[in-house]
Amino acid sequence: MSRKNQTLGEFIIENQTEFKYSSGELSKLINAIRLAAKVVNHEVNKAGLVDIIGAAGETNVQGEDQQKLDVMANEKFIQTLTKREIVCGIASEEEDDFISINSQDENHQNKYVVLIDPLDGSSNIDVNVSVGTIFSIYRRVTPVGTPVTLQDFLQPGRNQVAAGYVIYGTSTMLVYTTGHGVNGFTLNPAIGTFYLSHPNMEFPETGKIYSINEGNYIHFPQGVKDYIKYCQMEEQDRPYTSRYIGSLVSDFHRNMIKGGIYIYPKSSVASDGKLRLLYECNPMAFLAEQANGKASDGFGRIMDIEPTELHQRVPFFCGSRLMVEKAEEFMQKTL
């Protein structure tokens, strides 16, 4: 039975029977993510003291300027997951292609692939705003003992066996699900241990916060414009409050606790939206659904989308269930 202030390690052990393929590997995998997160947290918290803020001078596969902390976080997570020989493959938002990991044992039995956004919202580092890490775990579909293929990564979100995020803010939290609810663990920096602080996290059924970059309003589809106007109307339960941090992890985390909706739609300048299906939308959708929320592309369930490429982008509507459903109503009216 989970209890507040239980350590993450204790929680994993006590709840491992809820994991569909319980064999100890999930514990090792979450522990590896925990270790890498603590290293990244240490670097984030001294960002103003050492030369790791600002642009790295390179662009990633999406053509975006990489921040120095993007590069560092990417390296730390890949190194940690690789050295522990737990996974057979890793895909990162910062890498052009997936990484195949073959254990030193020719008959390695690693069954899991990890997809990761190592540092979501990294441009906020320079101004001391919360950032995060997002991860998604799948059981491979190709034969165990063989090199992974693209097929192992291009799975719909409904196939996820675990997903979560780490938020580096006023406190550092690791929030994850294995399909049996969502639990949040806060890092005690004095001893380097994560403790269960937010058991059984859930979105309120509805809320009063909408999170969207309204600076792009002119480029939004009509359904999104209509929904924004709905949020701003003077009614009994409105207007809603606009809150947008620019870090998916931070916006999602706030809305899950307080009640709200996050929207990053397609637009006239981004026909498929901006967020990546595999690294951002699917893991957040899994968390949302496990926390009594909903995640959609404006018309249908995010986790039912069949991926076609590693860095595929999709529109994203996520948050309190009734708010997402209302946004979908406005989108349907414009068909």
Tell me: is residue 123 an annotated ligand-binding position.
Answer: yes
Tell me: is residue 95 an annotated ligand-binding position.
Answer: no
Query: Which helix (DSSP H) or strand (DSSP E) does residue 116 occupy?
Result: strand 112-120
Tell me: is residue 117 an annotated ligand-binding position.
Answer: yes
Q: Which SS3 state, helix, strand or coil, does residue 243 take?
A: coil
Query: Which helix (DSSP H) or strand (DSSP E) does residue 214 occupy?
Result: none
The CA-based dihedral angle spanning residues 4, 184, 252, 324, taken in that order and rounded to the nearest 10 degrees: -70
* 239's tokens: 């207007």
Are residues 279 and 134 in contact, defined by beta-carbon separation less than 8 angstroms? yes
**Closest CA relative to residue 162, chosen from 14, 298, 28:** 28
- Going by the DSSP 8-state scheme, the letter that residue 99 receives in this structure is E
Tell me: is residue 213 an annotated ligand-binding position.
Answer: yes
Tell me: is residue 205 an annotated ligand-binding position.
Answer: no
* 312's tokens: 């595929």
Cα 207 → chain centroid: 21
* 147's tokens: 């090199």
The CA-based dihedral angle spanning residues 209, 290, 285, 162, taken in that order and rounded to the nearest 10 degrees: 140
Tell me: is residue 271 an annotated ligand-binding position.
Answer: no
Tell me: is residue 211 an annotated ligand-binding position.
Answer: no
Are residues 70 and 157 in contact, defined by beta-carbon separation less than 8 angstroms? no
Tell me: is residue 121 an annotated ligand-binding position.
Answer: yes
What residues form DSSP beta bridges with 211? Answer: 262
Buried b (16+ CB within 10 A) or exposed e, 153-185: bbbbbeebbbbbbbbbbeebbbbbbbeebbbbb
C-beta neighbour count of 299 within 10 angstroms: 12
* 74's tokens: 């990417």
How far is residue 18's CA from residue 165's CA, in Å, rounded to a whole number? 20
How far is residue 104's CA from residue 114's CA, in Å, rounded to a whole number? 19
Q: Which residues are annotated as a binding site for substrate?
A: 120-123, 213, 244, 274
Q: Which residues are annotated as a binding site for Mg(2+)?
A: 93, 117, 119-120, 280
Q: Which residues are annotated as a binding site?
A: 93, 117, 119-123, 213, 244, 274, 280
